[in-house]
Every structure is written in structure tokens, then in C-alpha cells.
Amino acid sequence: MKQSVFFAAVTAAGLSAGAAAAGTLDDVKARGTLNCGVTTGLVGFAAPNANGEWEGFDVAVCRAVAAAVLSDPTAIEFVPTTGKTRFTALASGEIDMLARNTTWTFTRDVDLKFEFTGVNYYDGQGFMVPKALGVSSAKELDGATVCIQTGTTTELNLADYFRKNNMDYEPVPIETNAESQQQYLAGACDVYTTDRSGLAATRASFETPSDHVILPETISKEPLGPLVRHGDNEWGDLVRWTLNALIAAEELGITSANIEELAKGTNRPEVNRLLGTEGTLGEMLGLDKEWAKRAIMVGGNYGELFAKNIGESTPIGLARGLNAQWTEGGLLYAPPFR
Amino acid sequence: MTTLTDPPEESFRLSMLINDTRYRAYTFQFIALLLLIMFMSYLGWNLVQNLAERGQDISYRFLGEPAGYDINQSVIEYDSQSTHLRASIVGVLNTIIVAFLGCVTATILGVAAGVLRLSPNWLVRKLMAAYVEAFRNVPVLIWILIIFSIMTAAMPAPSAFRGETPDASMVFDAMAFTNRGVYLPAPIWGSGSLAVILVFVASVIGVFAYRRYATKLLYDTGKLLPMGWPSLAILVLPPVLAYYLMGQPISLEYPELKGFNFGGGIHIRGSLIALWFALAIYTGAFIAENVRAGIQAISRGQTEAAASLGLRPRRIMNLVILPQALRIVIPPVISQYLNLTKNSSLAIAVGYMDVTGTLGGITLNQTGRAIETVLMLMLFYLFISLAISAVMNLYNNSMKLKER
Amino acid sequence: MSDTHSQSAFVRSEILPEAPPPVRERGIVKWFRENLFSSVANTILTLAAIWAVYYLITATGPWLLNGVWTTSSLSECRDVLDGRTGACFSVLAERWNQLIFGFKYPDELYWRPGLAFVLLFVALAPLLFAKVFPRKLLVLTAIYPFLAFYLIWGGTIMVPVFALLGFVVGFFVYKRLVLQSASMGLLGAVVSALVFWYVTGFLTGYMSNFLALEPVPSRDMGGFMLNMMLGVICVSLSLPIGILLALGRQSTMPIIKWISVVFIEFIRGVPLITLLFVANVVLAYFLPPESSLDLILRVIIMITMFASAYIAEVIRGGLAALPPGQYEAADSLGLDYAQSMQLVILPQALKISIPGIVNVSVGLFKDTTLVSVISMFDLVGMIRGPILGAAEWNGVYWELFGFAALLFFIVCYSISQYSQWLERQLRTDHA
């Protein structure tokens, strides 16, 4: 009954304790958990499984950071956010980092004052239609009813694309992925548009995925990545280099299978520096030597995470494409660890 | 002789601020004001600090920038290059549309159900009670979602109308009920339709004039003119005559399948229908209760007195009960209208682009200007509420029993 | 001519036995005729109603009766039904825990909110049925919020204990200062309680393991439990605030009155959803930069503000309905403001306001579903998000929304029935 007053007291106490701490890193360490913003549910990227545990590609990034900072990949509070709430949640400090397939754009980086710490998935917006519709190109969509998720860059791209091609359409704005999926399946819209990865994930969750095709056009560039608040550079560095460690690990051939072996020391200096047997990279981040080793051990390197969550052997079945290492013709290019 | 002297002037002591009832009120108001100011400045200071820390500011410049998104239902000219301000106005108009439709439908439903709840028919009474209880006791959001789900899942998709032997067909070849909404024939105003409309307006005025005249005649001479069929004739005949004289200028445009969707005609979207019906049925249940209470509040003696004057039941209702009941019923019904308007903000759950969907939804998302948009949103609803309560006060004053 | 009677051939000397009324004037036939077929219009109405009932039954009957309870996905349901109409209630069975507790509340701890729910009735009983239970049992009601907090959120028992003690301290300070003046008492009570909590706030930090239940962060609460929690917490918090606001609005002190009026009218003028937006995206800007009130607390604050404005208006109605003689009588007895309010005015005003307060509470409880719009997983949020979004249950909306509607109906209908009963109980006029 009178709990709020008492909460006020608790907060007051919490405040006096928290006031001393300055950066997000210290906050997270003091709290013992990482607050990570994710979607409200997109299979493959972030969704709670039947046991209520969060799983997915974005979730894996959060877990890696938690492992690096707190040595415990499960010490995370996942905060589900919608398109509307995600930026305020991050700005207000409710979450420490946002890993919610968020597109890196100029305004978000500069005007909304966030810092993108890299790209964990190179994506582009696409269209999905039922096969029965007989459409083979987005150019044939004149007059179609299109389901979109609100609060994303998607609706702006969509408006631009149809305007540019002089086509008409009827937008049906929906708040959550689950609901737009229902609308689409019921035939209340002809087309569902979102990032291609999201389309693949959505299609994978359908009863008969083969009844739906993803059109070949990609109408936008969508580099998706984790982001943190502007101005807290130590924390930004940490998230950025944890992601880079995952990417570099794949390039260097460090996998969850051989990491224990490699961590004993090798004759490859960069591997040693990454895994902490050489140099003091960890200390520079304000962590210990084995931070990257822990991060990689959670679920493996970038390639393993990709294969496990969204890769071709999963129902989502995404090809590496742009997300292959630069050595294999992709865009993933982790700066050197030295 | 003793002279009355004034009691000695009490000198002011500080303790009187608390102990003396004359000053105490001032002290407390001062403290309250001080606390309020402190609280407000605390919030303000936090705001300034937070904004500074995040490098943000409060600015309404975004209202002049292109919105960049499309809105499916708009009664004014709008495209993705229009400004955020215009998008908000589109939203405001959409809010007003759904609120107006909802209020009208809710009133019809509510009055019907309220009167039927007092019907002598047992079955009807119980059925209406079931309706009222079922809808009053379940959140309106659930009703909105249920009706929206019915709209999307139970209605056929436009593609079902296609082919040699379609699964679904249009009603009277004029209306199509699809899961994207209802398509109705739209009138096309040809040249000369203005004249027809003017004639129609004139005949509506004519009906009122006739009824007035009949009443006056009744009071002056006691002669009772028939009311029903002459009114109908005045209302219908001249416009129909004008319509044919002008060469049938108004025609209907029927919806037909074009490409992915139906084209032509009026398209009432599923989201609007879900919101409109759910709000109307939900609020109708409340209005039914108000109507019932209003009628029951009129004491039986009034009915009996009217009956003893020799009035027939219908006239008792029209001349004695309803005028008195209306005085009781209308204020709560107006506040139900207010509730309906506020509940229309749930549009966001079904993707109807009202002001919560445009200004408080996509504009907020795209610009990230949370404080500004939410403030504007609240002010808009506040304005509507104050306007409606002003109307209610006017009404209450005009209906106040004139006590002499 | 003189004696016509004696000339009569036959005079019945005993009264005839009463004949039964004609068939159409008795029993079920009479009832039917009077209630269902009294006129042409009535007959048409009856037939229409019968058709409506028939339609409802034939539409829902088979659907309910053929319901499937044991499958693990919608497609399996369809296989089992094999083309017949039937509901797929399996979703309720499989996702029961999620619907009730949300998907993150640890399942080995379900007994805690369950116990809190059962205790709710124990705590409410002395309040709801004041005539049956002795007044002393009200202590249970007073302790309940703290116990429920301990059960649901967990953590050390010292937090609720100190919170309770803070109220006790505040109460004694009020008792002491109220002799001087009501506002003084109130102010003193609030200040002393805050000081007490502030001081003990440090203490609990050190005793965080004393008699601790496993703590559950409020973010993990969901499902119908969240609706119940929001409803119960916000209504009980808004009652005292509402009373204060109503008294403030009636006050003769212009500034106090002005503050109350602006607050009440502002809150009543905007939809709850905009207030939830405030909780969700704006409130954080107005709190100190380092603080982090979680979403559920921010929502509680906003809903409480919302509810107190409405309750204040109801109570103001009750205050206004009291005849002025009551105020004058209290004054002429020499009671001061606090005494006259406590002993004379408020007991009567609150009694008149009970139906209104119950109406507001029911409305508020229904409105707790709106939190699903700001991505909280209450009952409706669970259905709209994780459950309908799951591949195996995509498309079972009837069963789920029907279940949600039923749950709310049961709770709201019983509350409103209770309030009608109470109204009859409290009626003091003997008309």
C-alpha cells in the first residue's frame, strides 16, 4: 500500500550509494549486472525461449560484454524495448547498452547523441510477399498494402522508395513484430517490409516458410550495431572492442573449441595479446587480462555465433554475404589488437 | 461612568504564525507554495542537468521539418514530404473523426440498451443486462484487440474476391467487407449537385418550420395537425424532385478490384472500424446505465400524475418523463463522450493514425523529441477536455431548475 | 313487492369455491404472456432476442465443447479437431504460468505471489466485511502491504519492516502534533517518516542478507500478476492522496485550493496513455541524473497520480453532498479542523463516496492493461507479444483474448457486485 514512499527511501539510499560512481563501467561493476536493451522478440536476434531465457545474435553480444566485464555471461538484465522506447531507455540510463538491431544513422549518432560501437550485422531493407501473389520484384508493388513496424528507419526508407519509383502504397503501421506478422499472415497486407535479416527470421517462424518469398531488391543500407550513450568513452571502447574481439577471433581462428589451448600461449603475437597472455590490453580497458577470452568463450567467435543463431543451418538460414570476414569478401574488418 | 476601552493591542509574536488561527493559514500556504516551488525547481534543475549531460535541448524546430513517413488515412493533403506539424494535424483530425463516429454510435446503442433494460420484456431485459455487464467489466483495450483480430482474421482478404469462383463476394455488388476494411460506394458530385444539396437543406429547414407552425396552431386554436407523414413528405419529395430535374447529377462510384486492393469508393480501414466499434460498444454500455438511472430517477408519481391528466403512454414519455430524465442523463453522458475521446488514444494498439499515432508515435520515434511531443499531446487532450467541460457547464446552467 | 327475496326460487347460501384463474392468466403461461408477448412490438423483440441467444449458443457452443486442451501447438490442435469447429485451449494450459506470472518470474518462486494473492483476501476481509470481523483484525490489513512486498519482491525482511516502522513513527508524530493543528501534524508525520527511512536506508544496506528471500527485480514481473499488483498498489496509494486532494480542493486557503484544482483538472484532462508515455519516455528527464527508477515504479507513480485525481473528485462529491449543518454542528462542538474532519465529516463523506470509489477502482484496474502499449508484459502484453508471436501459437487470438476478458470480468464484476451489496448495507435511511 504505502510502498512508493518506501521506494522513495530506497531510491534515496541507492542514490547516496550511486552518487560516488561515475562511469557506466563502474556502475555496471557496482551493480553486478549489465542492463542490456533488446527487442521485444525477434527470433534469431533476441527472443525469450520457452524457459524465458533470452537467446539470439544480439543477445550474444550482450552476453559477451557481460562476460568480459563481470566474468558472468548470465549477469544480465534484458530490457525489452520497442522502437519507441529504445532510445529513451538508453538515454535515461535505464540500460547500459542497446543491442536491438538498430541502424547506424547520422541523426542517431549526432543529433540523438548516441555512440555506435561498430556493426554486428550489415543489413538492408527488403520485402516479403506470399508466393501466391506472383510478385517477383519490388517494382511491381504499386498499390500494395504494406505492413511496417513503426519507429524504425524502415518507414522512412519505404516512403522514399515508393516516392522515387512513383508508386502508390497503403502503409499499415504496427508496433511489434509479432503483430505485424499476424497481419501479414492473415492477408491484411500484401507485403511485409523490414530488414532482410528480420524478414528471414520472421519467415522462419511461419508454419510453411516456403509459401513466402523475399524479393531481391534491397532498398537501403542498414548497418546494425550495438550502441551506448554519447560521452562515456571508456564504456564505449569496452563495448566496441568486445565486439571487435569476437570478430577478430574468427579471423584469427580462435574458436570456443581451441580457446583453452590457445590461451596457454602461442607463437602468434596477436592471438596472445587478444587472449591476454601478452601485453596489457585488458588493463587499458579497465578490465583484467582474460576479458576477451571470457567474451569469446560464452558462445564462440563471431562466426560461431552467426552459425548458431542465424546461420544457414538454423531455421532462419541467413547466408554470411556481407557479413563474412574481409578475407572472404565480406565487410567484417576488426582493427588490429595492439 | 466607566468607559469602554479597546482591548490592549496585542503585539505580534513569531509564535502566532503557528498558533494563531488568523495567521496560521498564511503560514501554511507560504510553506506549501515554498515546497511546490522547491519541488518544481528540483524537477527543472534535473531536466536542465539531464539535457546538458546528453547534449540535448528543448526545441520545436522539428515541427517544420519534413516528416518523411506516410499516413494511410488523411482528410487533408498530406505526403511524406509534409512537415511533422502537418502530420500532427492529420492525426488530430483522425482523432476527431473516430471520436465523433464513436460518440454518435455509442449514444444510439446506449439509449437503445438503456431503454430496453427497462422494457417489460423479461428476455430483452436480461439480454441487455448481460450486454451492459459484459462490456463494462472488461477493459476496452481487450475489446479493441478482439474486434481488430476479428477484422483481420475472420474477414476474407481482397484476393479472395478474385478469380472465376471467388471465395467471397461483394454485398449487393456495392460493398466489400475485407480484412483491410470495408469498401463502400462513394458519391460523385456532378455539376448541379449543389442545387440538390441546397434543396435538401431547405427541406430540412422546412420540416422544422412546419412542426413549429403545427405546435403554435395547437397551442393557439387547439387544432391538431398531423405531424408524421407531412414531415416525411417535406423532407423527401423536394430533394428527389430536384435530383431528377437536374438530370441525376449525383452518381455512385463502386469499389472494384484493382491490382492488390479494391480501388474506388470509400475505404473504411479495419483499424478505424475496430477502434470505432469497440469504443462505441464499450461506452454504449456506460451510457445505457446512465440512461436507465436517469429514467428510474423520475418518481413514479410523475407517470401517475401524467396518466391521471389523461395523457397517453407515449405522450407521458415524451412530454413528462424524458424532459426530466434528460436533465439527469445528459451531464454523465457528456463525460462519457469525454472518456471516449480520451480512450481513442488507444488507436496506437491497432495502428490507427490518430494524434497519438502520428505525433506521439512516429514523430516521437523519428525525432526523439520525447518531452516536446508528449507535452503537445497532453495539451491537445487537455484542450479537448476543457472544451467539452465548458460545453457541459453551459448546458448545466441552462438546464438548472429555475427556482422562483 | 315487499319481500322479493323470499319469493326467489333459489338462493345460494354458501360461497362458491374459488375457481382457478383461466389458463392464460396463471402460471407459466401468464408469465410468458405478460413478460414476453404482451404486444406485437414485444413479441417481435422477444423473437429477435431468442434468435440472438440461439445464434450465440450455436456459434460458441461447439467451439467451447470441442475445445482441445492437450496439444502443444496450433497446428496439432487443427489436426486433432480434424476440420470440426473447436477451440484450442491448449495454449492456456501450456502458457498458463506465463499468462499469470509473466515469462521471467522464476518458476520455483511462484508460491510467493500465489501466497500474497491468497493473503490479499485475508487482509481485505476485515475491511470489506467490517460487520463480521472485529476491528482488531484491521491490523492484518495494515501489515499486508509490507508482507506482500516482502513476498513478491523478496530481499531482506528489514526493508518492509523499516518501511512499516516509518509509518508507525509518522503516525505517532502526527498524533502528537495534530493537537496543535492538522497541517502541522501532517507535515511533521511526513518529515519524520522520511527522516526515519533515510536513516534506516543505510542500515538495510548492511543487513541485506538478514532473513532474505531471493530478490526478484520488478522488471521480471508480468502477466495477470502485474495487473493485480498495479491495481492494488495504485488504488491503495491513491486513496490517501485522493482524500488530501479533495480536502485541499475544499480548503479555504486559496493557494492550497489552487494547487489541488490544477493538479486534478490536468490529470483528468489527459488520457492515461499519455501519462504512461510520460512514465516511459519523459519522467527520466526529471529525475536526478544518477537515479534509475525502473519502469514499473515510474508506471506506479503515474497511475497513482491518475487514480488519485479521480478519487479526489469522487470524495469531493461526497463532501459536497453532506448537509452544511454537519460542518456547523462539528464547529459548534468546538472541534478543530482535524477533529471535525476525522470524527464527523470524513466518515460520512467517505461512506457516501464508496460506490464512486469502487467504480474508479474497477476502471483503474481495467486501465492497467494499457501498460502493454509501453512494452510491459502484463496479461494483454504477454498475449500480444511473446505468445501470439511464437510460431506454434500464431493465430489463437479468440481463446487468449477470451480468457483475458473472462479474468477481468470475474474480478470487476465481483467488485461491482460487492459495492452494490455494501451500498445496501450502508443505507441508513429507513425508507
C374 contacts A85? CB cut-off 8 A: yes
Q: Tell me, yes or no, whether B42 lies in a domain.
A: no
∠ CA B355-C313-C311 to the nearest 5 degrees? 85
Among C173, C167, C197, C196, CA closest to C186 = C173
Instruction: Give tens-digit pLDDT for C245-257.
Output: 998 888 888 888 8
**pLDDT exceeds cutoff 50 at A25:** yes
Give the nearest chain C residue to A204 (CA atoms): C391
C35 plus C101 within the same structural domain = no
Tell me what pLDDT residue C298 has.
87
Longest dimension (CA), chain C: 118
Cβ distance A145 to B152 less than 8 Å, yes or no, reads: no
- Which residues form the domain of B212? 186-253
Alpha helices (H) along chain A: 3-18, 24-31, 57-70, 85-91, 106-110, 153-164, 177-185, 196-204, 233-252, 259-262, 269-275, 281-285, 291-299, 302-309
> Measured at the alpha carbon of residue C185, what is the angle toward residues C179 and C191, in degrees to the nearest 5?
150
Interface contact A84-B364, CB threshold 8 A:
yes
Question: What's the average model confidence in pLDDT over B248-252?
Answer: 76
- A residues 159-198 lying closer than 8 A (beta carbon) to C: 175-179, 181-182, 185-186
- CA C43 to chain B, closest CA, distance in angstroms equals 9
Domain end residue (candidates: B208, B227, B253): B253
Domain of C82 in residue numbering reads as 70-105+220-423
Q: Is the pLDDT of residue B2 over 60?
A: no
Is the pLDDT at B55 greater than 80? The verdict is no
Q: Do A84 and C294 touch (CB under 8 A)?
A: no
> Both B326 and B389 in a single domain?
yes
Domain membership flag for residue C329: yes
In a domain, C165, yes or no: no
C329-350 average pLDDT score: 84
The predicted pLDDT at position C117 comes to: 87
Does residue A110 belong to the interface with chain B, where contact is any CB pair within 8 Å? Answer: no
Q: How far is A11 from chain C (nearest CA, A)?
A: 7
In a mutagenesis test of the B interface, which of C28, C286, C398 is the best target, namely the one with the most B β-carbons within 10 Å?
C286
CATH (domain of C93)? 1.10.3720.10
Do B159 and A159 count as a contact with CB atoms less than 8 A apart? no
Determine the distance in angstroms separating the CA of A132 from the nearest CA of chain B, rounded to an integer: 10
Per-residue model confidence as pLDDT tens digits over C360-384: 899 999 999 999 888 788 898 888 8
Q: Considering only alpha carbons, which residue of chain C is nearest residue B382?
A: C269
CA-nearest residue to B49 within chain A is: A92
Domain count of chain C?
Answer: 2
Among B324-328, B397-401, C266-270, top mean pLDDT goes to: C266-270
Task: List every span in chain A annotated with CATH 3.40.190.10.
Answer: 22-122+223-328, 125-220
pLDDT at residue number A22 = 57
CATH of the domain at B136: 1.10.3720.10
Question: Quick one: pLDDT at residue C304?
Answer: 93
Question: C375, A80: Cβ pair inside 8 Å?
Answer: yes
pLDDT value of position B285: 93
Q: Which stretch, B61-75, B214-228, B269-283, C82-96, has highest mean pLDDT?
A: B269-283
pLDDT of residue B8: 59
Question: Could you tell me if residue C11 is inside a domain?
Answer: no
Name the minimum distance, in Å, from the CA of C53 to any CA of chain A. Answer: 29
Both C90 and C31 in one domain: the answer is no
| pLDDT at position C368 | 92
Closest residue to A187, CB basis, from B81, B179, B351:
B179
Same domain, C371 and C320: yes
pLDDT tens sequence across C22-41: 777 777 777 777 777 777 77
Q: Which residue of C has its CA nearest to A95?
A: C292
> Which of C145, C202, C285 lies nearest to residue A1, judging by beta carbons?
C145
- Return mean pLDDT, chain C: 82
Identify which has the larger pLDDT, B83 or C2: B83
Task: Specify the pLDDT at position A18.
Answer: 39
Are B242 and B274 in a shared domain? Answer: no
Chain C residue with minimum CA distance to B37: C259
**Residue A12 — pLDDT band, cuts 50, 70, 90?**
very low
Chain B contact for A207, CB < 8 A? no
Cβ pair B50:C285 closer than 8 A: yes
Report pLDDT for B278. Answer: 92
Per-residue pLDDT band at C141 (split at 50, 70, 90): confident
Q: What is the mean pLDDT of residues C116-128?
A: 82
DSSP C21: P
Is this prediction's pTM over 0.90?
A: no
The predicted pLDDT at position C48 comes to 86
Report the complex ipTM: 0.85
Residue B256 has pLDDT above 90, yes or no: no
Q: Indicate yes or no: CB of B51 within 8 angstroms of CB of C285.
A: yes
The class that CATH gives domain A125-220 is alpha beta
Does position A7 have pLDDT exceeding 50, yes or no?
Answer: no
The percentage of residues in chain C with a pLDDT greater than 90, rounded to a whole number, is 12
Q: B171 with B209, same domain?
A: no
CA distance B295 to B321: 7
- Three-state secondary structure call for residue A146: strand
> Is C254 inside a domain boundary?
yes
Reported as type and span, the H/E element at residue A208 is none
Which superfamily does CATH assign the domain made up of A22-122+223-328 to?
Periplasmic binding protein-like II (3.40.190.10)
Element (DSSP H or E) covering residue C84 = none
Residue B15 lies in a domain: no
CA B358/CA A84 separation, integer angstroms: 12
Q: What is the pLDDT of residues A195-205, one digit of tens each?
A: 888 888 888 87
d(CA C105, CA C99): 11
**What are C148's three cell numbers?**
506482500
Could you tell me the pLDDT band of residue A14, with boundaries at 50, 70 and 90?
Answer: very low
Q: Which of C39, C65, C91 is the last residue of a domain?
A: C65
Q: Which pLDDT score, from 0 to 100, does residue B17 have?
A: 67
Model confidence at A20: pLDDT above 60: no
Set of chain B residues whose Cβ sits within 8 Å of the Cβ of C271: 342-343, 345, 356, 381
| Neighbouring residues of A324: CB distance < 8 A, sequence distance ≥ 6 | A330, A331, A332
Q: Which chains touch C (3 or more CB pairs under 8 A)?
A: A, B
Residues of A in contact with B55 (CB under 8 A): 113, 230-231
- B68 to A83: CB separation less than 8 angstroms, yes or no: no
**Mean local confidence (pLDDT), B279-302:** 90
pLDDT for B99: 92
Reported confidence tier of residue C58, pLDDT bands at 50, 70, 90: confident
Of C217, C237, C280, the CB nearest to A1: C237
Task: Count up the domains in chain B and report the number.
Answer: 2
Is C152 a member of any domain? no
For residues A189 and B158, what is the distance between their CA atoms, to the nearest angstrom? 10
**Pick among C38, C227, C273, C418 to test the B interface (most B CBs inside 10 A):** C273
Residue C15 DSSP code = P
Span B347-386, pLDDT tens digits: 888 888 889 888 888 888 888 788 889 999 999 999 998 9
- Window 156-175 of A: residues touching B by CB (8 A cutoff) are 156, 158-160, 162-163, 169-175
The mean of the pLDDT values for chain A is: 83
Residue C100 near chain A (CB below 8 Å)? no
Q: B29–C35: do the CB atoms touch at under 8 Å?
A: no
DSSP C240-289: HHHHHHHHHHH-S-HHHHHHHHHHHHHHHHS-HHHHHHIIIIIGGGGS-T
The pLDDT tens digits of the residues spanning C193-235 come to 888 888 877 777 676 667 777 778 777 788 898 999 899 889 8
* pLDDT tens digit sequence for B184-218: 888 877 777 788 888 889 989 988 898 888 888 88
pLDDT in tens, B3-54: 566 665 666 676 766 666 677 778 878 888 898 899 999 989 888 888 887 7
Among the candidates C36, C65, C94, a domain finishes at C65
What does the pLDDT look like over C323-333, one tens digit per residue? 888 888 888 88
Nearest CA in chain A to B53: A231
Please give the residue that has the higher pLDDT: either B6 or A56. Answer: A56
State whether B179 and B191 are in the same domain: no
Q: Which residue of C has its CA nearest to B351?
A: C373
Q: Is B146 within 8 Å of C405 when comparing Cβ atoms?
A: yes
Closest in C181, C273, C405 to B345, CB measured: C273
Residue of A172, A180, A227, A233 to mutate for B, most B C-beta atoms under 10 A: A172
The answer to whether the Cβ–Cβ distance between C405 and B138 falls below 8 Å is: yes
Question: Is pLDDT above 80 for A230?
Answer: yes
Name, in order, each residue with C-beta under 8 angstroms of C318's C-beta and a sequence gap of 6 or more.
C348, C349, C350, C351, C352, C353, C356
Among B162, B180, B369, most A C-beta atoms within 10 A, so best to mutate, is: B180
| Residues from B in contact with A at Cβ < 8 Å | 50, 53-56, 68-72, 79-81, 149, 151-153, 157-159, 179-180, 258-261, 263, 270-271, 348-349, 351, 353, 357, 361-362, 364-366, 368, 370
Q: Looking at chain A, which residue has its C-alpha nearest residue B269?
A: A172
How far is the alpha carbon of A253 from chain B, nearest alpha carbon, in Å? Answer: 40
Range with the lowest mean pLDDT among B118-132, C6-20, C39-53? C6-20
B368 shares a domain with B288: yes
Element counts in chain C: helices (H) and strands (E): 20, 0
From the CA of B365, how many Å to the nearest CA of chain A? 5
